[in-house]
Every structure is written in structure tokens, then in C-alpha cells.
Amino acid sequence: MAARVRLLELQLLVLPALLGIVGLLTIYLSGTGSTRWSWSDIWVSLVFMGMVLGTSVWLSLIGFSGDQVLFPLVAMLSGLGLLLSQRLQLVLQHDAGWATLAQRQLVYLVMSFGLLWGTLTFLRRLDWLRRYKYTAAVVGLALTVVTMLFGVEIQGARLWLDLGVVTVQPGELVKVLLVVFLAAYLDDYRNLIATGYRLGPVTIPPLPYLLPMLVMWGLSVLAVVLQRDLGNALLLFGIFLAMLYMATGRIAYVAAGLLTFAAAVWVALHLFSHVMVRIQVWLNPWSQPLHAGFQPIQADYAFAHGHLFGTGLGFGFPQFVPLVASDYALAALGEELGLLGTTAVLGLYVLLVARGTLIALRARGSFVRLLAAGLTVVLGLQTLIILGGNVRLLPLTGITLPFISAGGSSLLTNFLIVALLLKASERVGELR
């Protein structure tokens, strides 16, 4: 089939490409206070622009016929993330790492684009993944266990594996593996799980078929809890419930799941003191204004300072918020881009979820549909949990904001998800 130009995608990509250039110029000029600049000041944006447009052209060349809206959305978000890292680089003290924050983020982004190209070019069929569902489960569990045993602790959570040169966060990949496993398994046993055994008027859930899933899920949640990573526990739980519901369409499972979750929260509250502290700090950060509450208080100040239109890139004080680049990316955006900026970012994520759902609905093959829907839930739920924490809708957790937060593992994983979604969208609108 002849290469068809992905015109819509190219048109949509003009926006993120310009965003990178204008944003970086603003950041640079706000520091110097003049209007003189040279091309070398914005080489990072030019690289970004090249990658984004190059990817689209490459996709046209290989005759990729998938969704044309998803990639511009992702480009926009990751462009914002790149801008944020360039912005924060100016004010953050040099932190430990093999390069500066801005350089690292650029390298991660290049790697992520590489991953996207590679996946789209070499992965023939998504159905291929379903054959490896138990492999995915085992690898996922193994990664979790390894992290638990040999991980290094950063900020009270043991989530990182130190590989000498870099530290990676295997938990990010585990989410994708879990979705792959759940999608394949649920697709295989969907009918059995949905109907259950009838015993007079009572329907008993088919425990033997639920069991492997429950074990897999229970072990990952347990590991996550032992690692004190509450955000990921909530995320895994949400993924599990959502996929169970999507596969069976039975609300009873969701209700039962929520009940067990409430019970688990209650137990955790009494068992782990740090959970209690989290909740207290969430409800009233002023109870510990110098310790645990310091970060949310400073983030509130940053949001409030942003007001409607923000101070403009380069004119805020994101350095006042501790760990702003990983935990509180939205606060930094909120201060400099204002309420308009933050709602726009929210809008981008909503569009991303909507597009992902649309891809899942249009995809062919029940496994691919479940996989796409599950991956969309991963993105949407993760965003929701961390943003909810940032705006104090939920207790704050240490998970990353997809595409925007600094961090390589998270960026690579999210690009993998996007690649899989794009793959799932292939043949959309085509007659078979």
C-alpha cells in the first residue's frame, strides 16, 4: 500500500512544535531581560520539533494508518514536560545525576521517541502479546520482588533499582505488564467470570477463575504496600477494578472491590503510621507546617500566585516548592501559566483519555480492545491520582504525572503505552 500522508497529524503537530520554540524563547529571554537571541539558545526546541515532525513523516512513510490525534496530544504534553525541565533547570540546585535535569529529560525524550518508532515499526500484531500473558505476569512479579529486595530507598519509598549508571523504576513497567496479563486472561475467561455459578437465586462468583488474577493483583499490591508506594497501590487497584468491569460489565465486582478497598484503607490506617500522617497532612498541612506539611503548603502558595493567567514562563518561583519537578509539576505550571494553563493541561489529558477510549471502542479483536482500554485507564487514572494529590482532592502520593514529570522510567513507559495504543488503532476506518 502506498504511503499516505498523515495530514491531520502534521497540522496538529504545528502547535506543540511552536509551543516548544516560543516557550523556550520566553524562558531564555525572561532571564536575560532583553530581546536578543540566537538559534543556539533554542536548539533543544529545534531538536524536539525535529523529532515530533520526523516521527509523523516516518509514520507516513511506513504506511502507518493508525490514529492521527493521539500523537499530537502526546507531543503537546511531553513538549510541556520538556519546557518545564528547561525552566526548572534555571533555578534548581544541581542535583545528583549523570547530567543536568534538562539534559536528562531531553535524552529520555529522545529514547522515548526511539521506543515509539521501534514499537510501531517492528511490532507486527498486538495479538502476539496475548500469547505471553503468563510471561508478562511472571516478569511483572519478578520485577516487583527484585525491587523490593535490592531496591534503593528514595524519600521513604523503595521504588528504584540502582543499575550503576542510572536508577530505574521498574514499577512503571509493571503496570503495563499487569494490563497485558489482565487483558489476555480476562478475554480468555470472560464468559465464565461474567456468569458465575447459579445456585438458586444466588450467583456465586467463579472463584477458581478469579483466583489467578486475584493472586497476581494481590501480590503486586502487597509488594507496593511494603514499598510504601500508596499511589501505585491505588493505581493498580483501579486498573484491576476497571478491567474487571470492562471485561464482564458487572457492577457487583466494582462494588465488592470498593468495599475491600475501604477495608484495606482502614487496616492500613491502623497498621502503618505513615498512612495516617499522609492523611493528616492532606486534611490539614498546617498541623506540621515545617515538616510533612511544608510541601503542600508551598504548592498552595504557588497555585495561588498563578491566578488566572499566571506570571508567565520564567517569572514565577517554582523553586519554593520542594521536589517540584517530580511531585508537583502541576504547581510549577499553575504558577507560571495560571488557571488557564492548568485547565488546558487537564483538557489535554481528558482528550487523551477520550481518544484512548475511542481507539478501544473501534479496535478489532476483543483482546486488543481490552488492552487499549486498560492502557487508557492506566494513563487516565495515574494522571488523576497525582493531580488529585496536587490539588488536595486526594492525599498526595509520589507517582509521576505522565509525560510532564521529570523521570526516564515514567516517560519511557508512557511512550510505550502510546505506541501500543497507536498500534491498536491501526486499520481504524479501513475496510477489512
Partner 1 sequence: MSWFVRSAALVAATAIVAYGVATIEERTDPRWLVLLAIVGLLWGIALWPATVRQAHPVDRAMIHVAAVIGIGFLLVATQLIRAQALDRERIQSRVVSTGTEVVADPRRQVLTPESRRGRILARDGTVLAETRVGEDGRSRRVYPFGPAAYLAGYYSPALYGAANVELAYDGALSGRTRMRRLGEWIDGILNRPTPGYDVVLTIDPELQSEADRLLGGRAGAVVLLDARTGAVLAMASAPTFDPNALSVGTRATPEELEAARAYWASLQQSNDGRLVLRATQGRYPPGSTFKTVTLAAALESGIANLDTLYRDEGAFTVGSRVIIEQNRPDPNRVSYTLLEGYGYSLNVVFAQLGLQLGASRLSEAAHRFGFGESIPFDLPVTASVVSVDTGYLTNPAGLAETSFGQGELLVTPLQMALVAAAVVNGGEEPVPFLVEKIQTASGEIVEQHRPRAWRRALSPETAMQLEQAMRWSVEHGYARGAQIPAAVVGGKTGTAEVGDRPPHAWFIGFAGREEPQYVVAVVVENAGSGTEVALPIGRALLERALGR
Q: Nearer Cβ to partner 1, position 170 or 238?
A: 238
Q: How far apart are CA 285 and CA 338, in angstroms?
A: 23
Look at residues 377, 380, 375, 382 and name the one whose alpha carbon lies nearest to residue 231. Answer: 382
Query: How many residues sit close enough to partner 1 to count as binding (CB under 8 A)?
Result: 56
From the CB of residue 33, how many other CB atoms can be counted at a distance below 10 Å? 6
Instruction: Report if residue 103 touches partner 1, rule: CB under 8 A.
Output: no
Q: Nearer Cβ to partner 1, position 129 or 360?
A: 360
Q: How far apart are CA 426 and CA 417, in angstroms?
A: 15
> Which span (98-106, 126-134, 139-147, 380-388) binds partner 1, by CB under 8 A?
380-388
Q: Which of residues 327-356 bind partner 1 (CB under 8 A)?
A: 334, 338-339, 342-343, 346, 349-350, 353-354
Smallest separation, CB 408 to partner 1 (Å)? 26
Q: Nearer Cβ to partner 1, position 149 or 308?
A: 308
Smallest separation, CB 305 to partner 1 (Å)? 6
Question: Which listed residue (221, 387, 417, 420) binds partner 1 by CB under 8 A?
Answer: 387
- What DSSP string describes 411-428? HHHHHHHHHHHHHHTTTT
CA distance readout (Å), 136 to 51, 283, 314, 343: 30, 39, 44, 36
Question: Which listed residue (257, 380, 402, 408) binds partner 1 by CB under 8 A?
Answer: 380
Question: Which listed residue (114, 212, 365, 388) binds partner 1 by CB under 8 A?
Answer: 388
Q: How far apart are CA 105 and CA 41, in angstroms?
A: 17
C-alpha cell at 63: 504506511
CA pseudo-torsion sign 374, 378, 384, 389: positive
Smallest separation, CB 221 to partner 1 (Å)? 20
Instruction: Report if residue 30 touches partner 1, rule: CB under 8 A.
Output: no
> Which span (121-129, 198-206, 223-231, 374-382) binds partner 1, by CB under 8 A?
374-382
Smallest separation, CB 106 to partner 1 (Å)? 29
Q: How far apart are CA 89 and CA 332, in angstroms?
A: 12
Contact track, partner 1, 393-412, x by CB under 8 A: x-------------------
Q: At what angle do helices 170-195 and 230-248 cross, to 10 degrees?
A: 30
Question: Which listed residue (184, 381, 401, 421) binds partner 1 by CB under 8 A?
Answer: 381
Q: What is the DSSP letter of 128?
A: G
Question: Which listed residue (101, 129, 182, 360) binds partner 1 by CB under 8 A?
Answer: 360
Smallest separation, CB 300 to partner 1 (Å)? 5
Q: Which of residues 300-319 bind partner 1 (CB under 8 A)?
A: 300-301, 303-309, 311-312, 315, 317
How do strand 157-162 and strand 152-154 relate by DSSP bridges? Answer: antiparallel
Q: Nearer Cβ to partner 1, position 79 or 341?
A: 341
Question: Which listed residue (115, 138, 205, 392) binds partner 1 by CB under 8 A?
Answer: 392
Q: Nearer Cβ to partner 1, position 102 or 417?
A: 417
Look at residues 356, 365, 364, 366 and name the one whose alpha carbon lies nearest to residue 420. Answer: 356
Cβ atoms of residues 127 and 365 within 8 Å: yes
Name residue 196's amino acid: G
Contact track, partner 1, 222-261, x by CB under 8 A: --------------------x--xxxxx------------
Instruction: Report if residue 377 touches partner 1, rule: CB under 8 A.
Output: yes
Instruction: Report if residue 119 touches partner 1, rule: CB under 8 A.
Output: no
C-alpha cell at 387: 493531580
Which residues, other chains included, contact 423 with Cβ-Cβ below 8 Å and sequence gap of 6+?
A: 66, 119, 120, 123, 126
Q: What are phi and psi of 65, to 5 degrees?
A: -115, 20
Cβ atoms of residues 69 and 12 within 8 Å: yes
Which residues, other chains included, contact 120 with Cβ-Cβ below 8 Å and sequence gap of 6+?
A: 59, 62, 64, 66, 419, 422, 423
> Which span (125-133, 214-222, 226-234, 289-297) binds partner 1, by CB under 8 A?
289-297
Q: Nearer Cβ to partner 1, position 161 or 387?
A: 387
**Binding region for partner 1 (CB under 8 A):** 242, 245-249, 282-284, 286, 289-290, 294, 297-298, 300-301, 303-309, 311-312, 315, 317, 320, 334, 338-339, 342-343, 346, 349-350, 353-354, 357, 360-361, 366, 369-370, 373, 376-377, 380-381, 384, 387-388, 391-393
